[in-house]
Amino acid sequence: MHVYSRLPLGDAEIQYLVDKEIPSMHMLVQLADGPQVRLHCVHPMPPARRRMMNRKIAMRSWCW
């Protein structure tokens, strides 16, 4: 995941909120008129991976 900005970015950090392999980025953006806003860039889990996880969960519940 990449973030490109014409505005200054600061206080950036990467966390793994969705999955241990899917990064989420969090940072401050300095707006042109002065205030700062916090930006959260979160990538959702890909649909194929979600379907696979749902199958695993279904198999576990069926086996128990």
The pLDDT, as a whole number, for residue 59 is: 64
Predicted confidence (pLDDT) per residue in 9-61, tens digit? 999 999 998 788 889 999 999 999 999 999 999 987 777 666 677 776 666 66
Which pLDDT score, from 0 to 100, does residue 17 have?
86
Domain spans, the chain? 9-42
pLDDT computed for residue 34 by the predictor: 93
User: What would the two tokens of residue 55 be?
Assistant: 């199958």
